[in-house]
A and B are shown apart, each in its own frame.
Chain A
Amino acid sequence: MARAAVLGRLNWRLGEVVELIDETPRVRSIVLDVPEWPGHRAGQHVDVRLTAEDGYQAQRSYSIASAPDDERLMLTVELLADGEVSPYLVEELRAGDVLELRGPIGGFFVWDASVTGPLLLIAGSSGIVPLMAMLRHRAAVASREAARLIYSSRSWQEVIFRDELGELAAGSEGVEVIHTLTRTQPPDWQGFSGRIDAQMLKETAFAPGTMPNAYICGPTSFVEAAGRALVLLGHDPKRIKTERFGPTGG
């Protein structure tokens, strides 16, 4: 197992907001120009720190959505109703503002082309973000490992990166995207409905015998259910990596 090099202290740096993209009504991508960004691996996150005029500070962690190969750093943030940092990032931040951040953080929930075996990605709502970095990196390096994303969203309107995922799936690069919608479905919906469970994963995930590397990201209950289902289906727990987006994360 590749171990991340332990680098020196992670210093706070400043990044300028160059673009803001509304992905869904509650989710926004923040594209940053971070001078001397040290680079990252797909799946890692950063800490963002906000400081009020009276000196009060709040920090939260956000996954990186951009590939290591991309020119700019992209964070994709979901607005949490009771949040403190996410409302600022989603509703207040403007192009030209400067954000304080440090990272990249986390050397375990990462994927690059040196990882052999099919890539099995299981996302719940904004848990797609670090997995999107993996898909973008896979495309950038033209990896030949098969990739399959099983992505649970509440509704079609709330599917983050919907168009880009559609393009990836329509291409000939070996990416499959399977959606399930848990609350409402469009009238002509052909995909899955309801929460991800063992039966759905049996139908949609790579078989355990193909030795896929599974990455699961989403809210805690989602990750618990998907992880347990994969283990029940015979997947090796050592090939399942998890990352949780708690409702208190932001």
Chain B
Amino acid sequence: MAHISRGFRGKPREITDESRLPPGQYVVDGFPVLSAGPTPYTSLEEWTFSIQGEVSEPKTWSWEEFRALPSESIRTDIHCVTKWSKLDTSWEGISIDTLLEDVDHDATHVLAFCDGGYTTNVPLEDLVDGKAWIAFEYDGDALEPEHGGPARLLVPHLYFWKSAKWIRGLSLMDHDEPGFWETYGYHIYGDPWREQRYSGD
């Protein structure tokens, strides 16, 4: 039973389609930023994207090669564990399905790794079949560094910390392993619809 807060009414609620807002979230218009350390600035000449780990043959793309892959436009709602949700965001990115097309593996989980040492873990099945992308454009413009540019993971059906910024590759694994925030008390899976914010939720 929740405690009733004396005198609290909340803001007038009218517009939001409740079916689009997971429990405990509220809608924002801006695009807040959350990260653990200073924003890395990696030049596109140095940037690569790799698939490694439990694969028969690791793969690496340069920025040019990566951008030559077929990309998709994505329109989606995103939900941050710090309670904000942003509706109808638009992105351009390369589907993880495209990146894994010629990769031979028996992996069940993925650890995404990034500039700055950040990692996050996601079950492989949450990244395939059109559920996740490596995004490089937001709202028609190149993704800004503070929002994860040059490229970030986009897994919109999980809390947004799983959509790792400054991504440099995916490590395919035959087991699950907590990433950065997951070792600091955040939920191992992070489904906003089940409000899996913190360990044990």
Contacts and interface: CB of A to CB of B under 8 A. Distances in A.
Interface in A30-67: 47, 49-53, 55-61
Tell me the interface secondary structure of chain B in the complex: loop
A227 B4 contact: no
26 contacts: A6-B199, A8-B200, A10-B201, A47-B197, A52-B5, A52-B8, A53-B4, A53-B9, A59-B24, A88-B7, A98-B3, A100-B2, A108-B181, A223-B33, A224-B39, A224-B146, A228-B39, A237-B37, A237-B116, A244-B34, A246-B30, A246-B32, A246-B34, A246-B84, A247-B30, A248-B28
Contact of A50 (B8, B30, B32, B198): B8
Interface string B127-161: 00000000000000000001000000000000000
**Interface size of B as a range:** 35 or more
Interface of B: 2-11, 13, 24, 26, 28-30, 32-41, 82-84, 116-117, 146, 180-181, 183-185, 197-201
Interface in A138-192: none
A97 B8 CA distance: 12
Contact of B82 (A12, A51, A53, A61): A61
Given A88-B5, A92-B8, A106 B184 contact: yes
Given A6-B199, A14-B3, A249 B8 contact: no
A129 interface: no
A96 to B, nearest CB: 9
Contacts of A244: 32-35
B83 A60 contact: yes
Given A10-B200, A52-B10, A61-B83, A242 B117 contact: no
Interface of A: 3-4, 6-10, 12, 14, 47, 49-53, 55-61, 84, 88, 92, 97-100, 105-109, 216, 220, 223-224, 227-228, 230-231, 237-238, 240-242, 244, 246-249
A52 B183 CA distance: 34
Residue of B3, B4, B5, B201 contacting most chain A CB atoms (<10 Å): B5
A52 B9 contact: yes
Nearest to A245: B32
Tell me the interface secondary structure of chain A in the complex: mixed
Contact of B183 (A3, A50, A237, A246): A3
Give the 8 A-B CB pairs with smallest separation, nearest first: A227-B38, A9-B200, A246-B32, A107-B184, A50-B5, A51-B2, A248-B28, A220-B33
Contacts of B30: 246-248
